[in-house]
Structure formats: structure tokens, C-alpha cells
Amino acid sequence: MRDAIRVVVLGTGQMGSGIARLILAKEGLALVGVCARRSARAGKDAGEVLGLERPLGLPVRASLDEAIEHGRPDIAIQATCSRVADAAGEIGALVARGVNVISIAEGMAFPACSSPEEAARLHESAIAGGATVLGTGVNPGFVLDLLVIALSGACADIEAITARRVNDLAPYGPSVLATQGVGLTPGQFARGLADGSVVGHFGFEESVRMIARAVGWDIDRVDQTREPIVSSVRRETDFVTVEPGQVAGCFHTATALRRGEPVITLIHPQQIHPHLEDVDTGDTIEIRGTPSIRLAGSPEIPGGQAPVALAVNMIPRVLDAAPGLKTMADLPVPAAILGDARRLLRGGA
């Protein structure tokens, strides 16, 4: 069998650390580098930074070049940012050296959406470097786009698609809570929307455009709404306390119009402790068509664990793919890696 698949992880936050720990747990994958640019963590042993009980003998690198040089990775997983503009530099440097990339930056789920020119450049660079680049994540990248597209495949015709994801923000840290306006007054929330400090969900436009491209719909425009979820009760996490009358989260929707008609509606209310007001979390996909299809699950596929798993589980798919910039809809579906990851390579192990 070939040597273990060599993986470098970029980012040592919650996601990056989770990804690195999962790589360590998987047979056939080798963690050959951890990169934390411009961070006080650089130079420390990766085991310490990842919260392991043992040192790994692997220093956290501040420099991507050093991480590539010492790690000689087959693939890098990027968990450092959200926007294509922030992700593209690292990705370009990796593919130029022939390293495949999986990014969980939300914008990278469908980079042609926010950054068509940058996406075209990355695609060309990836092909030139003989490398594959994939953006993934639970949302965008899975629940409100890939699963929707897959279910559409069982339909002869479709009138409209509605998908809803109701989740709990309680596990998240202060930066996520701030972008959702948690803890603000309704007036502050409105001002936050206006000044861009409250943004709601990042990824609607990407999901809508992925679906539309997959089915061949030309979309006129995507309308988004963001409303404060004003709490009737006191809600509290380690990082924020919401009093009655304050904002517990953001009710964010996106509607794609085609020939003036709404054809794709994505609904994603995010808040802390929704159960305190008897709101069940969950994922629901409804397709009105021939046939109509509805699939739902409660609670939601969790936003903490699932992106970590998806990023790691897509490694064999990316290594098997042709060079270039890919979306989740361009590659075979992910599968949990439960045996030796090398055996899941179709190209032969």
C-alpha cells in the first residue's frame, strides 16, 4: 500500500484543531504539519496546541513555506478564514507547489459567486500546479446545497425548492455571536446591519448559486432578509447574556427569483438556546415538483462536528479528482473514513 496520505492543517482555532485531531485518529492519514501564521502558537509543539496529552514532535509553523518544506504534504486543509479574498493567497501558494487544498472558508464553497475573477485564477493555478482545490463545510457545502442538489436528482421537474436550517448558536464563541447580533437591542441590531457588523449567515448566495448552476436555472437575483430574533426569555451562554427584549440571534433568509418567481428559498434562523422558546432545531429540505420530496431531521446536523468531518472525509475525493477548482457538486459524495483512508482512493492504493 502507498505511504500514508500526508496532510497539513492551516489554522489552530476550534475548526483547525478539530480537523488535526481527526486526522491523527484516522488510519492512512498522517498529520505532517500544523500552521498558525502570525500567532503566538507558532513554535509550540502541535500536541500542546491541539490539547493532546502527548507532544507530537511537530512544531507549529508560522510560515506556510516552512510547513510545506518540512511536511511535504499531499494535501492541506485550510481553516483560517471565511472569505475568498482572505483564502486565496494561501491556496495559490499551495497549488503552485502541487499541494491539493480543502478549504472550509464559507466563500470557497462556491468561490465563483463572490469572486469570479479570483475563482478563475485559482482554477488556472490549480491546473498549472496539477492540484485540486475544494471548498466544503456543513453550510454552505452540504445541508443547504449538496443535499438539496442530490434530492433534486430524483425529480423529473421542479417548481420550487425550500430548505430550512434551524440551529443553536450556544456552543459558539464571541466572534460568531457578534456577527449574528446576539445580545444587542433591536435598535443596535438594525444599526449593526447597516454598518456591516451584523451579517447573519455567510453562505446563502453560495448555496443558491450552487443549486441553480447544478439544475441549470438562470436566476434573476437573490433577495435576502435579516430580522432580529427578539427573546421573550432570559438566555445565557458562557459568552453572552440575553435579557427579554434583546436579540437572541438572526433570522436570515435568501430567496432566488427566476423569471420573477421565487424558486429557491433558504431559511436559516440562528440563535442561542432556541429550545427555551420551544423552537426545535433541525434541517428540512422540501422540493415541490414531480415527485415532491421532503426530508427532515431534528436536531440539525451539528455545525461544530460536521464541517470537521466533511473536510477530512473529502480527502480521498480530492486526491482522486482531476486538477482544478471544484465544488462539492463536482465530486463524488463524501463518505465517513472508517477504515484505512488509502483504501478509499479509487486511483488505487
Count Cβ neighbours within 10 Å for each residue of 249-261 and write b for 16 or more, e otherwise. Answer: bbbbbbbbeeeee
Does 9 interact with a second copy (rule: CB under 8 A)? no
> Alpha-carbon distance 164 to 143, whole Å?
9
Residue 297 touches a second copy, criterion: CB under 8 A: yes
* Residue 120 is a binding residue for a second copy (CB under 8 A): no
Element containing residue 191 per DSSP (H, E):
helix 186-195
Cell of 228: 432580529
1 binds a second copy (CB under 8 A): no
Q: Which stretch binds a second copy (CB under 8 A): 56-64, 101-109, 110-118, 325-333?
A: 325-333
Write the burial class of residue 280 (CB in 10 Å: 0-12 exposed, 13-18 middle, 19+ buried): exposed
* Nearest-approach distance from CB 19 to a second copy, in angstroms: 10
Asked if 113 is part of the footprint of a second copy (rule: CB under 8 A), the reply reads no
- 90 in helix, strand or coil? helix
Total residues interacting with a second copy, rule: CB under 8 A: 57
| Under 8 Å between Cβ of 8 and 35 | yes
CA distance 309 to 334: 9
344 binds a second copy, rule: CB under 8 A: yes
Shortest spacing between CB 340 and a second copy, in angstroms: 6
Other residues' Cβ atoms within 10 Å of the Cβ of residue 298: 10
43/339 with CB nearer a second copy:
339
**Distance, CA of 52 to CA of 152 (rounded, Å):** 43
Angle at CA of residue 206, ends 203 and 210, nearest 5°: 140
| Per CB under 8 A, 171 contacts a second copy | no
Per-residue binding string, a second copy, 18-47, x by CB under 8 A, is: ----x--x----------------------
Q: Please give the Cα distance from 49 to 28 (Å, whole number).
A: 23
174 binds a second copy (CB under 8 A): no
Which H/E stretch holds residue 48? helix 46-49
Residue among 208 and 301 whose Cβ is closer to a second copy: 301
Q: Looking at the chain, how many residues does it have?
A: 349
Contact flag: residue 289 with a second copy (CB under 8 A): yes
Among 76, 158, 198, 208, binds a second copy (CB under 8 A): 158
Question: What is the Cα–Cα distance from 231 to 229, expressed in whole angstroms?
Answer: 6
Please state the closest distance from residue 320 (CB atom) to a second copy, in A: 9
244 lines the binding site for a second copy (CB under 8 A): no
Nearest distance in Å: CB 108, a second copy: 17
160 binds a second copy (CB under 8 A): no
Among 5-13, 96-104, 139-147, 220-228, which window interacts with a second copy (CB under 8 A)?
A: 139-147
The residues binding a second copy (CB under 8 A) are 22, 25, 138, 142, 146-147, 149-158, 214-218, 283, 289-291, 293-298, 301-302, 305-306, 308-310, 312-314, 329-341, 343-344, 346
